[in-house]
């Protein structure tokens, strides 16, 4: 059974326009997305800014209430949970954020930072809390003397380890990782990614991994969902999705990813234009104004996610077999590089 | 029109980069920039004995972690260092002239005109109170003495060349009316406005989305000028650069042609850095992490600065800092391991000349 299952998850924000606030717009930050995370697995979420990744993370963390749709945790709907049930959920789902300089209180010692979730949630004596803190520090590869220091005495990578230790304090089932390495130095990133993978293997954790760096997401994830303007455009097994993207947006995104070696030559698809405002998304397929394969029907008919060779893709190119032939021809013509 | 500026200069990219085979455009020789505290008690060697060369039309990537001195190096080349910093030794030969010896007034004529720079944050480098047209036209008016009408016409051409849609209306708008990608392209347009020989870009794409990054990088490359990319992203180097210099603790630890370094790195730091980046598609493999932390520049270890983190360290590394060795044509490495591969004749012991 999936640890977490979201179906039809939607979050709209109301935006006031103009000083008098007369006109109202709706930002469809997340618009009817569904995904599930299996125990011990990582779900990677990729997409550009404004695609709804962070809103998705906030919904999963319970920091925002969905406008529509459900999140089920271990089979139980979050909306129907009583106080005890919600408390259990909050303990089971933790987060590690991007900037370890902002996410740790500079006036608290590491000991107090890591113990805080324990003290607020469990009736522990000071000695019990302390020994648990030392265990956690050991788990994330920090010496026990770190407990008595302040965050400013640590480098970025070490701070991120402290943030991870805090997230692990309540033995969660799922950790939301929102850009956990993008604020770190290159030589430190691999340390943290390795640590996260080791912890997953050791503790059977599930991750919701959000990052800009596609290679890091592909490296860390079992499943990937690709988002564009609040919608999932493609989802599937991480490695096959990264190697053979099906949706034209995924294709462009992965072709734009920077190579890891100068001899690595990729067919490069350069998209024109920028991501449109989520306040006023294009009709039909939201990607059609930038899509190199756009057809007439893309402008007025929104494509639904459908099964294409074991993957979910929302694109009219895959509606019928004859279109599949079409994309092969189009792909051959459209390369730039 | 009283000035001699042709108003119809074409800024359209000329397609692929032209492989210009001329002498060095910029040559740094044994350059050191130190930050000195007010009492003179603390000295941070942010840039230490750096020797580098970039030819006309070439793209050089300077890679390093935060605190490795790469941004200070860029500020040194432009001579826009903060008051605490001093260029303590070395030469910077640009087109044969030593920039270290130039007066501030002379530097003002070089900056923006012959050497331009693009900064990381496009919102911070554009003035929110002036129109886009004013800001793109400013260097043209200052450096070439062009009149307002001429300069604005060229500003429109420049915006068009960086693919800003409807430049006629955009020139009268303000930075807040642009998206992030457009702002970055406008900063790029200002950078190339006086057709500089050399453009220095400090982390030019960190604030851009992936699909926008690809557009922007191709745009910069299409103009055929010499580029220095300062970045921590090896992917940008792999994609964009001809030459690479890796900095660690204020020093260039390895430099040379990009593909040669990626295929056979000499310095263990470069090697570790290359192994630590995840590659698309092989998720089963564990990443090779570099253990430890980058050193504090004010308290560098004796000997090689990378020695405490190096997995091939030996006794000599801990006591004696390696000089710059040149194992093979146009490559250098500051590592005792490179000493074995090089003959004494092409050893560059602190002199920095090739």
CATH number at residue A135: 3.40.50.300
DSSP for B230-277, please give it.
EES-HHHHHHH-SEEEEEETTEEEEEEEHHHHHHS--SHHHHHHHHHS
| pLDDT for residue B12 is more than 70 | no
Q: State whether A225 and A259 are in the same domain.
A: no
ipTM, two decimals, is: 0.74
- Classify residue B274: in a domain, yes or no: yes
- Per-residue pLDDT band for B122 (boundaries 50, 70, 90) equals confident
Over residues B12-27, mean pLDDT: 60
Give B258's contacts in chain A (Cβ within 8 Å).
262
Last residue of a domain, one of A186, A216, A242: A242
- Classify residue B70: in a domain, yes or no: yes
pLDDT at position A214 is 87
CATH number at residue B72: 3.40.50.300
From the centroid of its chain, how far is CA A304?
A: 21
Give A188's contacts in chain B (Cβ within 8 Å).
289-290, 293
Q: Tell me the nearest-neighbour CA distance from A126 into chain B, angstroms.
A: 32
- Quote the percentage of chain B above a pLDDT of 90: 49
- Classify residue A285: in a domain, yes or no: yes
pLDDT at position B7 is 41
Over residues B285-313, mean pLDDT: 86
Over residues B42-68, mean pLDDT: 91
| Distance in angstroms (rounded) separating the CA atoms of residues B228 and B212 | 20
What is the number of domains present in chain B? 2
Q: Which of A267-281, B160-174, B254-268, B316-330 has the lowest mean pLDDT?
A: A267-281
A188 φ/ψ angles, rounded to the nearest 5 degrees: -95, -25
Is there a contact between B210 and A256 if contact means CB atoms under 8 Å apart? yes
Q: State whether A88 and A101 are in the same domain.
A: yes
- Classify residue B3: in a domain, yes or no: no
B218 φ/ψ angles, rounded to the nearest 5 degrees: -65, -35
Give A270's contacts in chain B (Cβ within 8 Å).
211, 214-215, 218
A335 touches B: beta carbon within 8 Å: no
- Classify residue A133: in a domain, yes or no: yes
pLDDT in tens, B129-178: 999 999 999 999 999 999 999 999 999 999 988 878 888 999 999 999 88
Please indicate whether residue B222 or residue B293 has the higher confidence score (pLDDT). Answer: B293
Bridge partners of A153? Answer: none
Q: State whether A233 and A165 are in the same domain.
A: yes
Q: State whether A219 and A267 are in the same domain.
A: no
Q: Measured between CB atoms, which of A49, A191, A243 is closest to B289?
A: A191
Over residues B221-230, mean pLDDT: 84
- Classify residue A78: in a domain, yes or no: no
User: Token pair 């570099």 is at which residue?
Assistant: B290
**What are the tokens at A45?**
């979420």
Q: State whether A187 and A252 are in the same domain.
A: no
Is there a contact between A186 and B234 if contact means CB atoms under 8 Å apart? yes
Is there a contact between B289 and A187 if contact means CB atoms under 8 Å apart? yes
pLDDT in tens, A129-143: 999 999 999 999 999
- Interface with chain A: mutation pick from B235, B271, B288, highest number of A CBs within 10 Å: B235
Over residues B321-328, mean pLDDT: 86
Nearest CA in chain A to B276: A190
Q: State whether B34 and B177 are in the same domain.
A: no
- Per-residue pLDDT band for B16 (boundaries 50, 70, 90) equals very low
pLDDT in tens, B250-271: 999 999 999 999 999 999 999 9
- Give the strand pairing for A93-96 and A174-178: parallel
- Helix intervals (H) in B114-179: 122-125, 132-144, 148-161, 167-170
Torsion sign across C-alpha atoms A312, A318, A320, A321: negative
Q: State whether B101 and B218 are in the same domain.
A: yes
Nearest CA in chain B to A240: B281
Please indicate whether residue A143 or residue A1 has the higher confidence score (pLDDT). Answer: A143
Q: Measured between CB atoms, which of A197, A221, A260 is closest to B235?
A: A260
| pLDDT for residue B5 is more than 70 | no
| B45: CB partners within 8 A, 6+ apart | B32, B34, B250, B297, B300
| pLDDT for residue B283 is more than 90 | no
Q: State whether B89 and B26 are in the same domain.
A: yes
Q: Measured between CB atoms, which of B182, B278, B290 is closest to A215?
A: B278
Q: State whether A283 and A134 are in the same domain.
A: no
Q: State whether A272 and A170 are in the same domain.
A: no
For residue B227, how many other CB atoms are within 10 A of its CB?
Answer: 24
| Distance in angstroms (rounded) separating the CA atoms of residues B319 and B336 | 12
Nearest CA in chain A to B262: A261
- Classify residue A132: in a domain, yes or no: yes
| pLDDT for residue B232 is more than 50 | yes
Last residue of a domain, one of A193, A223, A242: A242
Over residues A230-240, mean pLDDT: 93
| pLDDT for residue A43 is more than 90 | yes
Q: State whether B41 and B178 are in the same domain.
A: no
Q: State whether A250 and A289 are in the same domain.
A: yes
Buried b (16+ CB within 10 A) or exposed e, B185-197: bbbbbbbbbbebb
Provide, for chain A, the percentages of residues in helix, strand and coil under a 3-state DSSP scheme, each rounded to the nearest 5. 40, 20, 40
Q: State whether B209 and B70 are in the same domain.
A: yes
Q: State whether B127 and B175 are in the same domain.
A: yes
Give B236's contacts in chain A (Cβ within 8 Å).
258
pLDDT at position B354 is 36
Q: Tell me the nearest-neighbour CA distance from A127 into chain B, angstroms.
A: 31
- Classify residue A33: in a domain, yes or no: no
Q: Measured between CB atoms, which of B209, B262, B281 is closest to A48?
A: B209
Q: State whether B50 and B66 are in the same domain.
A: yes
Over residues A257-283, mean pLDDT: 79
- Interface with chain B: mutation pick from A187, A268, A280, highest number of B CBs within 10 Å: A187
| Distance in angstroms (rounded) separating the CA atoms of residues B131 and B128 | 8
Q: Tell me the nearest-neighbour CA distance from A89 into chain B, angstroms.
A: 30
Q: Tell me the nearest-neighbour CA distance from A330 into chain B, angstroms.
A: 20
- Per-residue pLDDT band for A167 (boundaries 50, 70, 90) equals very high
What is the number of domains present in chain A? 2
Nearest CA in chain B to A261: B238
Interface of B with A (CB under 8 A): 65-66, 179, 181-182, 209-215, 218, 232-239, 258-259, 262-263, 272-273, 276-283, 286-291, 293-294
Highest mean pLDDT among A271-285, B6-20, B87-101: B87-101
What is the average pLDDT score of chain B? 84
- Classify residue B163: in a domain, yes or no: yes
Q: Which of A15-29, A193-207, B108-122, B197-211 has the lowest mean pLDDT?
A: A15-29
User: Token pair 């992203």 is at which residue?
Assistant: B233
Give A216's contacts in chain B (Cβ within 8 Å).
278
Q: State whether A227 and A158 are in the same domain.
A: yes
Torsion sign across C-alpha atoms B164, B166, B167, B171: negative
Q: State whether A153 and A290 are in the same domain.
A: no
- Classify residue B104: in a domain, yes or no: yes
Which residues span the domain enclosing A259? Answer: 244-337
A309 touches B: beta carbon within 8 Å: no
Buried b (16+ CB within 10 A) or exposed e, A210-223: bbbbbbbbbbbbbb
Q: Tell me the nearest-neighbour CA distance from B241 into chain A, angstroms.
A: 9
As a whole number of Å, the end-to-end CA separation of chain A is 45
Burial class of residue A323, CB neighbours in 10 A (0-12, 13-18, 19+): middle
Q: State whether A234 and A314 are in the same domain.
A: no
- Interface with chain A: mutation pick from B61, B166, B179, B210, highest number of A CBs within 10 Å: B210
- With left for phi above 0 and alpha for psi between -120 and 50, is residue B95 left, alpha or beta? left
| Distance in angstroms (rounded) separating the CA atoms of residues A105 and A111 | 12
Q: Tell me the nearest-neighbour CA distance from A239 into chain B, angstroms.
A: 6
Last residue of a domain, one of B177, B195, B213: B195
pLDDT at position A140 is 94
Over residues B315-330, mean pLDDT: 87
Q: State whether A175 and A319 are in the same domain.
A: no
| pLDDT for residue A303 is more than 80 | yes
Which residues span the domain enclosing B152? Answer: 121-195
Nearest CA in chain B to A258: B235
Q: Measured between CB atoms, which of A49, A185, A242 is closest to B281?
A: A242
**What are the tokens at A178?**
């929102």
pLDDT at position B110 is 94
Task: Count Cβ–Cβ pairs < 8 Å, chain A vs chain B.
Answer: 132
Q: Measured between CB atoms, which of B182, B235, B281 is closest to A239?
A: B281
Q: State whether B29 and B97 are in the same domain.
A: yes
Nearest CA in chain B to A337: B218
């Amino acid at each position: 059974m999936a640890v977490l299952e979201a179906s039809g998850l939607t979050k709209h924000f109301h935006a006031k326009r103009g000083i008098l606030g007369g006109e109202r717009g709706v930002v469809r930050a997340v618009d009817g997305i569904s995904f599930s995370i299996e125990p011990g697995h990582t779900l990677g979420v990729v997409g550009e800014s404004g695609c709804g990744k962070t809103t998705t993370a906030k919904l999963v963390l319970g920091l925002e209430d969905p406008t529509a749709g459900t999140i089920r945790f271990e089979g139980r709907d979050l909306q129907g949970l009583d106080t005890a049930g919600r408390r259990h959920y909050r303990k089971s789902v933790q987060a590690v954020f991007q900037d370890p300089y902002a996410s740790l209180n500079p006036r608290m010692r590491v000991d107090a930072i890591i113990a805080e979730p324990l003290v607020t949630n469990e009736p522990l004596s000071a000695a019990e809390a302390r020994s648990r803190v030392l265990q956690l520090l050991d788990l994330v590869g920090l010496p026990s003397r770190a407990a008595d220091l302040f965050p400013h005495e640590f480098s970025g990578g070490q701070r991120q380890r402290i943030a991870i230790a805090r997230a692990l304090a309540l033995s969660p089932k799922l950790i939301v990782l929102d850009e956990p390495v993008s604020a770190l130095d290159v030589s430190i990133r691999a340390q943290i990614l390795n640590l996260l993978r080791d912890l997953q293997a050791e503790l059977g954790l599930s991750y919701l991994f959000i990052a800009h760096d596609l290679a890091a997401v592909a490296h860390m994830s079992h499943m990937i969902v690709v988002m564009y303007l609040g919608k999932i455009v493609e989802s599937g097994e991480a490695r096959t999705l990264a190697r053979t993207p099906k949706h034209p947006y995924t294709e462009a995104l992965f072709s734009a990813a920077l190579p890891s070696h100068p001899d690595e030559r990729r067919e490069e698809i350069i998209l024109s234009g920028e991501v449109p405002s989520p306040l006023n998304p294009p009709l039909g397929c939201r990607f059609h104004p930038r899509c190199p394969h756009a057809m007439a029907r893309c402008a007025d008919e929104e494509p639904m996610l459908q099964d294409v060779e074991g993957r979910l893709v929302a694109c009219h190119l895959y509606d019928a077999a004859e279109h599949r032939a079409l994309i092969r021809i189009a792909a051959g013509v459209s390369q730039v590089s | 029109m009283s000035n001699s500026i042709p108003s119809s200069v074409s800024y359209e990219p000329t397609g692929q980069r032209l492989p210009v085979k001329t002498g060095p455009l910029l040559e740094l020789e044994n350059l050191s920039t130190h930050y000195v505290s007010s009492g003179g008690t603390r000295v941070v060697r942010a840039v230490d004995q750096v020797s580098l060369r970039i030819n006309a039309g070439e793209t050089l990537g300077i890679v390093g972690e935060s605190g490795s001195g790469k941004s200070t190096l860029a500020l040194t080349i432009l001579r826009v260092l903060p008051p605490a910093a001093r260029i303590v030794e070395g030469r910077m030969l640009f087109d044969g002239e030593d920039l270290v010896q130039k007066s501030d007034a002379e530097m003002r004529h070089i900056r923006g005109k012959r050497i331009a720079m693009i900064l990381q944050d496009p919102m911070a480098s554009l003035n929110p109170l002036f129109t886009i047209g004013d800001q793109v036209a400013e260097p043209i008016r200052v450096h070439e003495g062009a009149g307002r009408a001429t300069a604005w016409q060229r500003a429109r051409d420049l915006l068009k060349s960086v693919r800003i849609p409807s430049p006629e209306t955009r020139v009268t708008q303000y930075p807040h009316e642009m998206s992030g990608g457009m702002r970055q392209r406008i900063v790029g347009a200002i950078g190339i406005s006086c057709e500089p020989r050399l453009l220095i870009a400090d982390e030019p794409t960190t604030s851009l989305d992936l699909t926008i990054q690809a557009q922007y990088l191709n745009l910069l490359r299409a103009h055929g000028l010499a580029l220095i990319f300062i970045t921590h992203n090896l992917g940008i180097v792999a994609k964009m650069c001809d030459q690479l210099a890796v900095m660690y603790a204020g020093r260039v630890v390895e430099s040379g042609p990009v593909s040669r370094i990626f295929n056979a790195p000499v310095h263990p730091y470069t090697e570790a850095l290359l192994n630590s980046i995840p590659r698309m598609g092989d998720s089963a493999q564990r990443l090779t992490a570099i253990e430890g932390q980058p050193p504090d520049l004010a308290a560098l270890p004796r000997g090689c600065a990378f020695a405490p983190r190096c997995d091939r360290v030996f006794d000599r590394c801990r006591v004696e800092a390696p000089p710059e060795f040149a194992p093979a044509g146009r490559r250098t490495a500051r590592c005792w391991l490179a000493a074995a591969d090089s003959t004494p004749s092409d050893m560059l012991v602190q002199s920095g000349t090739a």
